[in-house]
Chains A and B, each alone.
Chain A
């Protein structure tokens, strides 16, 4: 018992340090004159930051970018979820693929593949259109607000889908049927019943996408900066990375707005997802809903879904693979194929910084996820099984970092580490990663713990199994799926982490995504693609390997 009473406070201390500390230091730092010392209180940073005449455009861009991405992602997710749950569209397994696989492709690579396709000077598709139709100018420009919204919307589609699809799935179809019996047409039913009933899920998805796009760094940096379109994260990045003297105080002052907006939005999101349980009505055995027969639209609509999954999953990999073998960007042709070589692969594999970033990312991915998962198991255990008030505090604390925009929290950690020996080391990155991505580890584990209802353990004890046997044969096998998915989620996030890393990484602690960003800034697309393919391969093999290991493990223990 003494053990238990110590567990909760020490976890609150650790998680509190991870989440509250950077925020506190960020606030303090925004009032400081210099960097590295906490002396000389000043308001001047706020004054400079918020009287900048360029800020208004940046805020407008940020607003359009986040709202636009939320609209794109949510509408696409609604369409896909409707097709999957309510119609007889063929090949439904694709929907599951769409919702999972894009997580394996790092966002920055997805952006780069769009640059390679649609940049105005030599994008493959643009060149193709210019040649084919004899145009004077490239028809598309990915370095635009439209381009950013499209790509960010596609990137956040899986998240929106994961929120909307379950809501659509648990939707009581008799609500629609009764509307039709009451004389409403299909369209009226959609507008007056289906969408309003789904409103909490739709809003929740939109808000979550807004938070994600507000925190997004890959899209604004790869697509926005070349087109001189700045949003809050890239504005902060510009303040700390360019010029002779990076101004961390001013960056922190700006960061406060992004942080405040995110925290408010996330609490709104939590409120809405709680609110949606209000909408649960009496549910019967439920007659299996008749699927809507799409008739002649079946295959055209499937083509749309097919194209979407192609764009989301296959296209980025193909474009990167293709580019990694070519000396410079060109439309696929006999000439192009004859010029292919391993030149870029070779130069990446002898480039010391690329190799170092590869090694660092692997260490951070595997080591960080393993440490992170242990912390997640403990936190999830306390949240689910120890239902005291301090456990509630822990839950709120661990959920908080979910709303932190990476670059802002990176700044916060900057202030935390600056006077410690951790500054500029892999440890700084490791702590930052775990702090930011802890909710991703906790979530699958708390659902695993919820599944292990007390009575499952108790009935094992009553059946004559001791505490140890109960642990081995009941608790661990039931926990393993949660551990596996938590670990995978964290490891893949860590391997591809960009936003925190651009702030915290220093010479010697380079990581893959930052190295890719450097390549992209320098326009070294060939090397970038080769390194990107290696990155995707690492993420995918982590996912596959750990899934297999988990399956094997739970079989052994259950027997």
Chain B
């Protein structure tokens, strides 16, 4: 089901100041999409999610789910959360501690007044779906973190909602379980063919799960696009930096070709993608991700995107070396193959492809 958000604004009053938790957000989330709201804490992503589900009352704007307007300031419409027919997985899972698994999962159906036999069958089906077959009579408090998370998922799915919302559902799991669940969830949601809205501050989660990512900052959506588009070619330096580690180097554009442009910087000329069609003379930022910086044996710095530097702050983290390369006074963060023979203070030559670095407006 499609979700449309128009001009949504939410104000908070805090110590005499007015804070815009949401600042004129306009958004359309397509049918059967896994849509992620990504941003640092306090950016308004959770407020946006809670406004969609009806737990938060915005100040201006309109929200519609499918053809139905569920909230509108102007038209004075407020459909309470219990009438919106959505499913949601809370950050804390919100598993009711005084009920067993069956009652937790069956609760939405009980509220619809469904006959008992049918509830029993539906709960069993849903528990099977989340691989918790036969857990019906387990007390909710006797579940592990991962199991609680799956009960929460089953509860959100059991009434077959058209839209399911997730509020940082993996943040309470330990690192290993988080990785596994991430993969499972992606496969699972794609299989269901459901619209999912997912809130997280974890960029890897966002990249791994989403069809579309919307990056938020200070109550606004800064950029929206597919994971690859956002990673390889974001429009905004904040997004480029937030979605992955990156070296941002400022400079002036000196030359433009069809798809590329040359940026004059403190370490020399760098050629990179110029999909935003910046023109000669403009100030811009070159974004180079550490993983695309390679050691090279070519020592001709006259060639394109080859630089000479000194290795600093080198640490071995198992799967790679991480370190900074000092070129003149600029430090570039990089990761290097763990098998390379390299030491702190080594003089090295690096290169990166002009297809893997990109220009953004400064």
Interface residues of A (CB under 8 A from B): 172, 174-175, 177-185, 188, 192-193, 196-197, 199, 278-287, 290
For B155, give the chain A residue with the smallest CB separation. Answer: A182
Interface residue? B281 (CB, 8 A): no
User: Which are the 8 A-B pairs with shortest beta-carbon distances?
Assistant: A178-B94, A182-B108, A183-B111, A174-B94, A284-B91, A284-B92, A174-B90, A180-B81
Given A281-B97, A282-B145, the answer on whether A181 and B53 have CB atoms closer than 8 Å is: yes
For B140, what are the chain A residues with a Cβ–Cβ distance below 8 Å? Answer: 281
Q: Is the CB of A172 within 8 A of B94?
A: yes
Complex contact B93–A281 (CB within 8 A) = yes
A-contacting residues, B73-103, CB 8 Å: 80-88, 90-98
15 contacts between A and B (CB under 8 A): A172-B94, A177-B90, A181-B54, A181-B82, A182-B82, A183-B159, A193-B96, A196-B96, A197-B96, A197-B98, A281-B148, A283-B92, A284-B172, A285-B91, A287-B50
Chain B, residues 122-149, CB within 8 Å of chain A (1/0): the string is 0000000000000000001100010010
A263 to B111, CA, bound (A): 43
> In the complex, are the beta carbons of B92 and A279 less than 8 A apart?
no
**B56 interface residue, CB < 8 Å from A?**
yes
CB-contact partner of B88 in A175, A178, A192, A197, under 8 A: A178
Q: With a CB–CB cut-off of 8 A, which chain B residues contact A178?
A: 88, 90, 94, 152, 155
Q: How far is the CA of A278 from the CA of B139 in the complex (A)?
A: 11
A274 CB to closest chain B CB (Å) equals 14
Counting CB contacts under 8 A, is B55 at the interface?
Answer: yes
A172-B107 contact given A185-B82, A196-B98, CB 8 Å threshold: no
Extra contacts besides A174-B92, A179-B107, A282-B93 (7): CB < 8 Å: A177-B94, A181-B81, A182-B155, A183-B85, A279-B141, A287-B91, A290-B55
Cα A281 to Cα B83 with chains together (Å): 27
Chain B residues lying within 8 Å of A174, measured Cβ to Cβ, are 90-92, 94
B112 within 8 A of A: yes
| Bound complex: CA A215 to CA B108 (Å) | 46
B-chain residues with CB within 8 Å of residue A172 when the two chains form the complex:
92, 94
Find the A residue at minimum CB distance from B105: A182
Inter-chain CA distance A192–B168, complex, in Å, is 26
Question: Which of B53, B55, B93, B168 counts the most chain A CB atoms within 10 A?
Answer: B55
Contacting residues, chain B, for A181 (C-beta < 8 A): 53-55, 81-82, 84, 86-88
How many angstroms between the C-alpha atoms of A197 and B171 in the bound complex?
24
- Greatest chain B CB density within 10 A among A192, A199, A278, A282 is at A282
B72 an interface residue at 8 Å Cβ cutoff? Answer: no
From A179, A184, A282, B92 is in contact (CB under 8 Å) with: A282
Give every chain A residue within 8 A of B80 (Cβ-Cβ): 180
Chain A CB within 8 A of B46 CB = yes
Q: With the chains together, A181 CA to B83 CA distance in Å?
A: 8
Rounded to whole Å, the gap between the CB of B91 and the closest CB of chain A is 4
Residue-wise interface mask of B (165-189) relative to A, using a CB-CB cutoff of 8 A (1 in contact, 0 not): 0001001100000000000000000
* Residues in B neighbouring A182, C-beta threshold 8 A: 82, 107-108, 111, 155, 159
Shortest Cβ distance from B55 into A: residue: A177
User: Is B111 touching A184 in the complex (CB atoms < 8 A)?
Assistant: yes
Asked whether B81 lies within 8 Å of A278 as measured between CB atoms, the reply is no
The digit string for B30-61, where 1 denotes a CB below 8 A from any CB of A, is 00000000000000001000100111110000
| CA–CA, A209 and B54, complex, Å | 39
CA distance A196 to B104 in the complex (A): 13
Q: Which of A172, A179, A280, A281 is most buried by chain B, counting CB atoms within 10 A of its CB?
A: A281
A174 to B90, CA, bound (A): 7
B contact set with A: CB distance below 8 Å = 46, 50, 53-57, 80-88, 90-98, 107-108, 111-112, 140-141, 145, 148, 152, 155, 159, 168, 171-172
* Least CB separation from A281: chain B residue: B97
Instruction: Determine the residue in chain B with the shortest Cβ distance to A289.
Output: B55
Given A174-B90, A196-B98, A197-B98; A180-B107 close (CB under 8 Å): no
* Residues in chain B near residue A192, CB distance under 8 A: 107
Residue of A nearest to B152 (CB): A178
Query: Measured between C-beta atoms, what is the minimum distance from B12 to chain A in Å?
Result: 10
Residues of B within 8 A of A185 (CB): 82
Q: Which residues of B contact A197 (CB under 8 A)?
A: 96-98
Asked if residues A175 and B141 are in contact (CB atoms below 8 Å), the reply is no
B contact residues around A287 at 8 Å (CB): 46, 50, 91
The docked-state distance in angstroms from the alpha carbon of A286 to that of B93 is 11
Cα–Cα, bound, A284→B149 (Å): 13
Q: How far is the CA of A197 from the CA of B56 in the complex (A)?
A: 23
A178 to B98, CA, bound (A): 14
A182 to chain B: closest residue by CB: B108
**In the bound complex, do residue A290 and residue B97 qualify as a contact, i.e. CB atoms below 8 Å apart?**
no
By the criterion CB–CB under 8 Å, are B87 and A278 in contact?
no
Q: Given that A180-B82, A182-B111, A183-B108 are contacting pairs, would A175 and B91 also be in contact in the complex, using a CB cutoff of 8 Å?
A: no
Nearest Cβ on chain B to A170's Cβ, whole angstroms: 12
Assembled-state Cα–Cα distance A193/B85 (Å): 19
Q: Whole-angstrom distance from the CB of B6 to the nearest CB of chain A? A: 22
Contact partners of A175 in chain B: CB under 8 A: 94, 96
Closest partner residue, chain B, to A285 (CB atom): B91
- Least CB distance from B86 to A in Å reads 6
User: How far, in Å, is B181 (CB) from chain A's closest CB?
Assistant: 15
- Residues of chain B lying within 8 A (CB to CB) of residue A188: 111
List, in ascending order, chain B residues with CB within 8 A of A183's CB: 82-83, 85, 108, 111-112, 159
Tell me the complex Cα distance, A181–B155, Å: 10
Within the assembled complex, what's the spacing in Å between the Cα atoms of A286 and B86?
Answer: 21
- Tell me the minimal C-beta distance from A203 to chain B in angstroms: 13
Q: Given that A174-B92, A183-B85 are contacting pairs, would A279 and B159 also be in contact in the complex, using a CB cutoff of 8 Å?
A: no
In the complex, A279→B94 CA distance in Å?
Answer: 12
Q: How far is the CB of B71 from chain A (nearest CB, A)?
A: 14
Chain B residue, CB-CB nearest to A198: B98
The answer to whether residues A282 and B172 also contact, given A182-B82, A182-B111, A197-B98 and a CB cut-off of 8 A, is yes
B93 to chain A: which residues have CB within 8 Å?
281-282
Minimal beta-carbon separation of B216 from chain A (angstroms)? 16
Distance in angstroms between the alpha carbons of A265 and B87 in the assembled complex: 43
The answer to whether A281 touches B141 (Cβ under 8 A) is yes
B97 & A279 in contact (Cβ 8 Å cutoff): yes
Closest residue of chain B to A196 (Cβ to Cβ) is B98
Q: Which residues of A contact B145 (CB under 8 A)?
A: 282
CB distance from B48 to the nearest CB of A (A): 13
Q: In whole Å, how far is A424's beta carbon from the nearest beta carbon of chain B?
A: 54
Closest residue of B by beta carbon distance from A175: B94
* Cα separation A196 to B55 with both chains bound (whole Å): 22
Which of B82, B94, B152 has most A Cβ within 10 Å?
B94
For the complex, give the distance between the alpha carbons of A179 and B53 in Å: 12
Query: Roughly how many angstroms separate A188 CA and B83 CA in the complex, as a whole number?
Result: 14
- Tell me, rounded to whole Å, the shortest Cβ–Cβ distance linking A178 to chain B: 4
Chain A residues, Cβ within 8 Å of B46: 287
A189 to chain B, nearest CB (A): 8
Q: Which residue of A lies closest to B53 (CB)?
A: A181
Q: Enumerate chain B residues within 8 angstroms of A177, measured Cβ to Cβ.
A: 55, 81, 90, 94
How near does chain B come to A412, taking the closest CB pair, in angstroms? 41
Query: Which residues in A have their C-beta under 8 angstroms from that of B91?
Result: 174, 284-285, 287
